[in-house]
Amino acid sequence: MEKRKKYETIIIGGGPSGSSCGITLQKQNRSCCIIDKATFPREKVCGGLLPEKTLDFIHYLMPERKMKDIKQVLTIDSSNEIAFYKNNEFIVKSSVKTNFTISDRKILDSYLIDYYKEHGGKIYEGIKITKIDFDNKIIYTSTNQEFEYQYLIAADGVNSYVRKELHASPVQKVSFIEYDIEKKDFDGTKAMTFFDYQGNQLGWSFPKGNYYNIGLGFPKKESDAIKITEEFLKSIGVRNIEKYKRKGALLPNKTILHKPYAKDHILFVGDAGSFSEPMTGEGIYQALFSGAKAAESIIQGDNVVKTYTKKTKTLRESKKILTYFQWVLFHCDNWALHRLQRRPHTITKMVDGHIGKRVLNYKNLVSFIISYKRYGKEKIDKK
Ligand SMILES: Cc1cc2nc3c(=O)[nH]c(=O)nc-3n(C[C@H](O)[C@H](O)[C@H](O)COP(=O)(O)OP(=O)(O)OC[C@H]3O[C@@H](n4cnc5c(N)ncnc54)[C@H](O)[C@@H]3O)c2cc1C
C-alpha cells in the first residue's frame, strides 16, 4: 500500500459541512478526499429540523434529483406550526406557510456522503488522525498512512481537532441535553414547540415519527444541567423519564466572528467555523453553505481566505442579529412573549420570510421590518 496519498484538498469531517465541500469540489473534478473518525451511517445528536432553505440548498448541491425524491428520503415528520410556552404555560401558537421537515442525522448525513461517493468522491472512514504537520501540509494517521494536501478544510465539528492542533482561540460553546420520548409518554402536538424555561434556558419539542425530540439548551455553563433538564421534562408532562437515554452535545452558538476562522491554506467550515445560529440552534444550513463556499473559494483560486471571508459574510451577519433577538428573549422575556402573544404574525413573518426561507442578514432584516409594519394584525390563535 502506498504510504503517502496526495490530494489538492483534504476535508477533515464528513458531516454536512464536509460533504457539501466535497460534493462541490468533486463536481468540478478537483482532487479531494474526506477523512472521518466515524464510519457512516453514524449517529449525531441533533433535532434534525430542516427549514425550506436547507432542503433548497441540498437540492442546489444535487440539482438532477427531484425535490420530491429528496424529501421522500429525508422526511421522518414535518410541521408548519410553531408554539411558545413560558415554563409550562401556553403563550401563543402560529401557523406558518413554510414547511419544516424533520429528519434523522443518520439518514441525512449518509445521503450526502453517498451522493459524494456516487460522484467519485473518496472517503477514509474510521480513521484517527494522530498529527498534522501544518508547515509541510501532511496529516498522519493511526493506520500509519500519510496524506499530503494543498488546502485543508476543518469540517470536524464543534470540538474541532484542527483548531486545537493549531492552538487557535477556542469557541464559546452552549450545551444541550436531549431525549427521544415515545409518543405514549408525552402528550405533545405536531407544532415545533419552544419553551422559555425559568427565563434561563430554551427548551424544545419536535415531533419525530413515533417520538418527540425534547431537550433543553444552556446558554451559560451549568453544573446542574442534567437535573434541570429532568425537572423541565417533568414540568411539561413527560412520563417515565428514567427509561430514556439522555444525549448531550455542544454548539458554538456564542462565538461571533468578524472574519471566519481561516489561516493561509486552512478554512474552517460548519460548527468548526462557529457558524451555527444562536436562538434557533440551527446549524445544518450554515454547515452546507459554508462547506460549499469554502470549495468555491478554492476553485476560484487567488486569495482563497479573502474570497471565503466575503462569501460567508451573510452567515456572520445573521448570527449577530439572532444573538440580539436571543438577548431580548432572555432579558425581557415577559415583554417579548407578551408581544408575540398580541402579535403572532411576528412569528409568521419572521419564520416564513427569513428563518424558513433565507438567513436573517442585514438586508433581510430591513425587508422584515418594512413588511412587518405593513402586515395587519392577525387573530390570536389560542390553543
Ligand atoms: C441538540 C442539538 C440539536 C440540534 N438541532 C438542529 C436542528 O434541528 N437543525 C439544524 O439545522 N441544526 C441543529 N443542530 C446543529 C447541527 O447539528 C450542527 O450545526 C451541524 O451538525 C454542523 O455540521 P458540521 O458538518 O459542521 O459538523 P458535524 O455534523 O458535527 O460533523 C463533524 C464530523 O467530523 C468528524 N470528526 C470530528 N473530529 C474528527 C477528527 N479528529 N478526525 C476525523 N473526523 C472527525 C465527526 O465524526 C463528524 O462526522 C443541533 C445541534 C445540537 C447539539
pTM here is 0.94
Closest ligand 1 atom to Cα of 217: 1
Q: Per the structure block, which three cell numbers stand in for 104?
A: 434523522
Give the distance (Å) from ligand 1 centre to CA of residue 203: 19
Q: How do the domains of the chain map onto residue ranges?
A: 4-77+103-171+256-316, 78-101+173-251, 321-374
**Which stretches of the chain score pLDDT less than 50?**
378-383
- Which of 290, 283, 340 is CA-nearest to residue 105? 283
Residue nearest to atom 31 of ligand 1 (CA): 15
- Which of 334, 336, 352, 341 is CA-nearest to residue 383? 341
**Is the C-beta atom of 278 inside 6 A of ligand 1?**
no
**Is the C-beta atom of 271 inside 6 A of ligand 1?**
yes
**Is the C-beta atom of 196 inside 6 A of ligand 1?**
no
**Is the C-beta atom of 251 inside 6 A of ligand 1?**
yes
Q: How many residues does the chain have?
A: 383
pLDDT of residue 381: 47
pLDDT of residue 373: 67
Residue nearest to atom 53 of ligand 1 (CA): 249
Distance in angstroms (rounded) separating the CA atoms of residues 16 and 106: 11
- Tell whether omega for the bond before 16 is within 30 degrees of 0, i.e. cis: no
pLDDT in tens, 251-304: 876 677 777 777 779 999 999 999 988 877 899 999 999 999 999 999 998 899
Coil, strand or helix: which one is 140?
A: strand
Give the distance (Å) from ligand 1 centre to CA of residue 271: 6
End-to-end Cα separation, the chain, in angstroms: 65
Q: What is the dihedral of CA 199, 315, 250, 273, to 10 degrees?
A: -150
Task: Name the CATH topology of 78-101+173-251.
Answer: D-Amino Acid Oxidase; Chain A, domain 2 (3.30.9)
Residue 33 and residue 122 in contact, taking contact as beta carbons nearer than 8 Å? yes
Residue nearest to atom 52 of ligand 1 (CA): 46
Q: Chain-wide mean pLDDT for the chain?
A: 90
**Is the C-beta atom of 17 inside 6 A of ligand 1?**
yes
| Sole residue written with cell 406558518 | 96
Distance in angstroms (rounded) separating the CA atoms of residues 220 and 214: 19
**Is the C-beta atom of 45 inside 6 A of ligand 1?**
yes
For the domain covering 4-77+103-171+256-316, report its CATH number. 3.50.50.60
